[in-house]
Chain A
Amino acid sequence: MTDKAGAVIIGGGVNGLGTAYHLAKKGYTDVVILEKSYICSGASGRNGGGIRQQWSSSENIKLAMESTKMFEELSDELEEDLEFIQGGYLVLAFTDDELEQFKENVALQRKMGLDTEYVSPEEAKEMVPQLNISKVKAATFNQSDGTVYPFPVVHGYARVLRETGVEIREHTEVLDIETSGDEIASVRTSDGKIKTDTVVNAAGGWSSDIADMVGVELPNKPYRHEIMVTEPFARFLEPMIISFHHGIYFSQSKHGNIVGGIGNPDEKEGINQRSSLWFMRTMAKTLVDFIPQFRSVNMLRQWAGLYDTTPDAQPIIGPVPEVRRFYQLNGFSGHGFMVSPVVDKVTAELILGETPSMDIDRLSVERFEGMDLEQEYSVVG
Chain B
Amino acid sequence: MTVTICRCEDITEEEIVEAIEDGYTELESLKRHLRLAMGQCQGKTCIPLTERILARKLGKGPDDMDEPTARPPSRQVSFGVLAGDEDDR
Residues of A within 8 A of B (CB): 38-41, 45, 151, 155, 158-159, 162, 168, 229-231, 255, 275, 280-281, 283-285, 287-288, 294-303
Contacts and interface: CB of A to CB of B under 8 A. Distances in A.
B83 A231 contact: no
A151 to B, nearest CB: 5
Contact of A151 (B33, B72, B84, B85): B33
Interface string B60-80: 000000000101110011111
Contact of A39 (B29, B78, B83): B29
Contacts of A280: 72-73, 82
A285 B83 CA distance: 4
B73 A151 contact: no
B23 A162 contact: yes
A154 B13 CA distance: 23
B50 interface: no
Contacts of B76: 231, 298-300
Interface residues of B, number: 26
Given A155-B33, A231-B40, A303-B71, A297 B79 contact: yes
Interface of B is mostly: loop
Contact of A40 (B32, B69, B73, B82): B32
A292 to B, nearest CB: 10
Highest count of chain B CB atoms <10 Å: which of A255, A284, A296: A284
B27 to A, nearest CB: 10
B86 interface: yes
A38 B28 contact: yes
Interface in B5-31: 22-23, 26, 28-29
Nearest to B32: A151
A301 B42 contact: yes
B61 to A, nearest CB: 19
Nearest to B74: A301
A288 B79 contact: yes
Contacts of A298: 76-79
Given A38-B26, A168-B23, 13 more contacts: A38-B28, A155-B32, A159-B22, A229-B38, A275-B71, A284-B81, A284-B83, A285-B82, A295-B79, A296-B79, A298-B77, A300-B40, A301-B73
Contacts of A299: 73, 76-79, 82
A162 B25 CA distance: 14
A294 B28 contact: no
A300 B71 CA distance: 9
B86 A295 contact: yes
Nearest to B66: A38
A303 B32 CA distance: 13
Contacts of A159: 22
A294 B80 CA distance: 8
Contacts of A300: 38, 40, 42, 76
B32 to A, nearest CB: 5
Contacts of A158: 23
B83 A295 contact: yes
Highest count of chain A CB atoms <10 Å: which of B33, B35, B73, B82: B82
B23 to A, nearest CB: 6
Contact of B82 (A231, A275, A284): A284
